[in-house]
Amino acid sequence: MNVHASTAPQLRRYTAGMPQLNANGLSENWLLKECGDRHWLGIAQAQGLPRPEFRDAQGHKVYAAFTLVRITSGRLEQIGENDRFAITSQCQAVGRAQHYSRHVLHAQGQTTARVEMLSAFVRRAQPGSNRSVVRAAMADAATHAPNPELWAAAEAFVRRGRALRAMQPQLSADANYSLDFTPCPNNDFNGADLLYFSAFQSMVDRAEWAWMLHTQPPGRPAALRERELVFFGNLDLGDSVRIQLQPQAADQGMLCHHSVLQRQSDGVCIARVVTRKLAPVYAHEVQGPACR
């Protein structure tokens, strides 16, 4: 079976500098943005377009909104200033409107993170309202022979997304840590005026850091091992988000929490995030339901 160029591995090399780094190694936020951009370009390539500009069957402009993002095998703290690293990316169409991509981060001869992404085309049902975002009805696009291994991974990821979307988090009110945050249009929204998917990760990390400072002396930030972000909706400019962080019991030396992000204007859940990190030296010991 011939593999179309869109599904063939695309390698890009980098040198870690201040835009890519934070106080704990390679920035997860930067990594998500970079992989998101490569996902976006991969969709255009998969559809044989010269640039990533998409329209639905009725001609409306549409965007690829992420429905599920997962990071595994995270070792981002191993990448420091001036270190060389590379990202290998592959993208696969999954039906008319969904696309799956897989990105593998390599540094120092080993894998330091795997990122998987699933997106769906969406549009605004009401102009200017991010609360009216709905799935777009797409016409048939150019199809190419799929990469069998990548197709199987994509199908498994779609099933994973369905299971996570159906899961109801068990949040205990007396164990929650809540943080209210108003995203800024200059930093948290993208060029389509949508709350950018990487802003969700950023908000959870803000809540985590605030919770840690609230419960213990300052220490080094926890190092990411795994994260799953499930997206349900978006936010209008000027609206705020309540991040409810539920610490979970975890293996010794690990920090785990389940976060629910709600729109302040109507209380609707717009995302759920499951995080697993290597605990810092002064991590607060929590008791609660097992980390999953």
pLDDT of residue 221: 87
Cβ(7)–Cβ(146) below 8 Å: yes
pLDDT of residue 288: 46
In this prediction, the residues of the chain whose per-residue pLDDT falls under 50 are 1-5, 283-290
pLDDT of residue 174: 60
What is the secondary structure of 130-168 as a DSSP string? GGGEEE--PPP-------HHHHHHHHHHHHHHHHHHH--
Cα–Cα distance for residue pair 66/23, rounded to 1 Å: 27
pLDDT of residue 199: 98
pLDDT of residue 48: 82
pLDDT of residue 175: 60
pTM of the model: 0.90
Both tokens assigned to 77: 């703290």
pLDDT of residue 285: 47
> Can you tell me which residue has the tokens 């591995």?
9
pLDDT of residue 4: 47
Cβ(258)–Cβ(269) below 8 Å: no
Helix or strand or coil: residue 40? helix
| Helix (H) or strand (E) run with residue 254 in it | strand 254-263
Condensed to tens digits (0 to 9), the pLDDT of residues 109-165 reads 999 999 999 999 999 999 999 999 999 888 876 556 678 899 999 999 999 988 888
pLDDT of residue 170: 60
